[in-house]
Amino acid sequence: MGVVAFEWAEVGDNQLTLVMNRDNWANREISRASRDVRSDSLSGRCKDNGGTWFAISSKGRVAFLMSKTLLEDKVDKDGGSELYPIDFMKSNVSPEEFADHVARCAKDDKLDEKNNGWSYSLIVADLTLNSMVHIRKPHILAPDVLTETVPFGVHTLSPDGGLDSTDATRDLCLRDYFSQMIGVTNPQDFPCGEATTDSFSDWGKPSTNTV
């Protein structure tokens, strides 16, 4: 998975605007986006295990994922962090309760060289509750899962740095570019400035989805 930029609007607007750069998965066949009746969600699915990197429901539930494990095309036919967005869609628990569930699952996993686990950053949100949580497992061989509440505003999510990483120029420039796209800032307001568009020229023209 590549990188995500998104804006979560202030209370009252109940709106999420998101742009995602999904790197191609050489070893995965991904279905076209379709609605799943069981989870009441819209998503594209990995045909190997039914997982997804992005899902949304008509009830205002949203989940999207960044993962270093997925970048390496590691396919787990019986599991994988890409199943968490589907699990969240099927559940009725709050984002906070789901984060606790994920943390417990990670502690229960027995990690070794054969079963080396996953590394991911996951956003789960219920827009009707004005609740959004970042769930991050930074290390493949460590069971530690970090959770934090996501405040309103413009954010990025990447597989290496998680939420609002400042480690990579790509993440900073994407936040700059996305802020310009949605009219939050002018080009001169951020260090990337007018060069930001050139930095993402290989994307083509990015598309946004508004929830």
Residues in the chain: 211
Beta strand segments in the chain, E = 3-8, 16-21, 34-36, 41-43, 54-57, 61-67, 120-126, 131-137, 146-149, 153-158, 162-163, 209-210
Q: Residue type for 142, please?
A: A
Helix-strand-coil split of the chain, %, nearest 5: 25, 30, 45
Q: Which CATH number covers residue 187?
A: 3.60.60
Could you give the strand order of the β-sheet that contains 209-210, starting from the edge strand earlier in sequence?
A: 162-163, 153-158, 3-8, 16-21, 209-210
At 191, is the secondary structure helix, strand, or coil? Answer: coil
Per-residue pLDDT tens listing for the chain (211 residues): 578 999 998 766 678 888 887 665 566 777 888 888 777 889 988 887 888 889 999 889 999 999 887 766 667 777 788 899 999 999 999 999 999 999 988 877 655 544 457 889 999 999 989 899 999 999 888 888 999 999 999 999 998 889 999 888 888 888 888 888 887 766 555 556 554 445 554 444 444 444 5
- Whole-model pTM: value is 0.82
Q: Identify the domain containing residue 176 by its residue range.
A: 3-210
Domain count, the chain: 1
Query: Rounded to an integer, what distance in angstroms lies between the CA atom of residue 182 and that of residue 21?
Result: 17
